[in-house]
């Protein structure tokens, strides 16, 4: 219940209501882009300052290793399941969407932990950055394999090879994405400047953060409400996956966190990352790399169902489960 009384969450709910009522309220795209970049920069600085204070520990290495393992395991499991319900291209696109991560969900979880005074490692922001790209690369490789199979069945040559040429470009774009670079760059700045930097940037990365997050979540609520309509007529099993999939991914992360003995805060964030679904980075890449997939499917499911579920229910649930590790 405490999560629903948080101003940022209430603004998200307000956005959902306004979008459902088809209000003309909207945040200009340029403002929304600025808010997104601000949140990533502030999060990177916070992570860098925290990492400068804690230093590189065994838990840091274990957390980053667990994040990479989950980033490979979640989309692989998702694809094996989803190809029973969808075409290989749609299955690959959805596997990438749910195998990658949502920065806004992660930032909201960080704010939730801070409001409850639960410590977490600054390196978890780096874990988020590491978890973004593997699922995208894996999905494109699976799509290339599907194209080769279709070309072979049709008796044509070269179709699969043509698709392979985009892998190098995809890898470059995945690892040099502006938002991801900003996050990592801000983390390095925070790590280098340490406590002096934290004090100097406190008005920017501390006092403004909550209000900026509330403004951004208002926009996310509007977008989520307006994307629910794209799910009409879809298989009920896909709607179940939009909620059940993240819960299973969070349970997998819980098991990993328990096995590695992660702290409550780090375990909660690892579960949040595993349960989140990308609605910005993956759709942008997949729309170009896998044009055969249906954008309304992977975008509508991630933003229309999974994102609201994680913001309103998932984050408090993952934190409560992480408390059991204590």
CATH of the domain at 312: 1.20.1530.20
Residue 148 confidence (pLDDT): 80
**21 located within any domain:** no
Given this model, what pLDDT does residue 161 score? 44
What pLDDT score does 163 carry? Answer: 45
Q: What pLDDT is stored for residue 56 in this prediction? A: 77
Q: Give domain status of residue 69, yes or no.
A: yes
pLDDT number for residue 65: 92
Handedness of CA 123, 129, 133, 135 (dihedral sign): positive
Residue 147: inside a domain, yes or no? yes
Q: How far apart are the first and last CA of the chain?
A: 22
Give the pTM.
0.84
The domain tally of the chain equals: 1
Q: What is the pLDDT of residue 226?
A: 83
What pLDDT, on the 0 to 100 scale, is given for residue 172?
65
Pull the structure tokens for residue 229.
């309509």
Asked, for residue 56, whether it belongs to a domain, the answer is: yes
141 CB neighbour count, 10 Å cutoff: 15
CA distances from 282 to 62, 149, 299 (A): 26, 24, 9
pLDDT at position 177: 64
Range of the domain at 147: 2-16+26-323
pLDDT of amino acid 89: 92
CB atoms within 10 A of CB 23: 12
Mean pLDDT in consecutive groups of 10 residues from the start of the chain, 326 residues:
72 91 90 88 87 81 92 94 91 93 92 92 87 84 81 60 52 65 86 92 87 90 83 84 96 95 94 92 78 85 92 95 88
As given in the structure block, the two tokens for residue 77 are 């499991």
């Amino acid at each position: 219940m405490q999560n629903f009384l948080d101003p940022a969450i209430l603004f998200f709910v307000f956005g959902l209501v306004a979008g459902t009522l088809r209000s003309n309220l909207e945040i200009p795209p340029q403002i929304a882009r600025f808010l997104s970049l601000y949140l990533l920069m502030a999060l990177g600085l916070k992570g860098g300052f925290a990492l400068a204070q804690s230093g590189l520990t065994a838990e840091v290495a274990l957390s980053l290793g667990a994040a990479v393992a989950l980033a490979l395991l979640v989309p692989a499991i998702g694809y094996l399941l989803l190809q029973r319900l969808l075409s290989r291209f749609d299955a690959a696109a959805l596997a990438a969407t749910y195998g990658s991560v949502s920065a806004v969900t992660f930032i909201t979880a960080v704010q939730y932990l801070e409001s409850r005074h639960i410590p977490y490692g600054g390196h978890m922001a780096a874990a988020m950055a590491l978890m973004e790209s593997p699922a995208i690369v894996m999905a494109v490789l699976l799509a290339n394999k599907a194209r080769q199979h279709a070309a072979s069945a049709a008796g044509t040559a070269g179709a699969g090879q043509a698709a392979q040429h985009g892998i190098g470009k995809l890898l470059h774009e995945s690892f040099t994405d502006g938002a991801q670079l900003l996050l990592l760059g801000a983390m390095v700045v925070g790590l280098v400047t340490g406590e002096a930097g934290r004090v100097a940037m406190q008005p920017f990365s501390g006092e403004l953060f909550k209000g900026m997050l509330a403004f951004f979540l208002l926009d996310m609520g509007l977008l989520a409400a307006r994307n629910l309509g794209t799910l009409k007529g879809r298989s009920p099993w896909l709607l179940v996956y939009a909620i059940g999939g993240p819960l299973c991914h969070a349970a997998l992360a819980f098991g990993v966190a328990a096995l590695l003995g992660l702290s409550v805060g780090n375990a909660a964030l690892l579960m949040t990352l595993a349960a989140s679904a990308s609605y910005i980075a993956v759709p942008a890449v997949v729309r170009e790399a896998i044009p055969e997939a249906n954008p309304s499917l992977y975008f509508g499911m991630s933003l229309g169902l999974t994102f609201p579920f994680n913001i309103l229910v998932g984050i408090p649930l993952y934190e409560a489960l992480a408390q059991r590790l204590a």
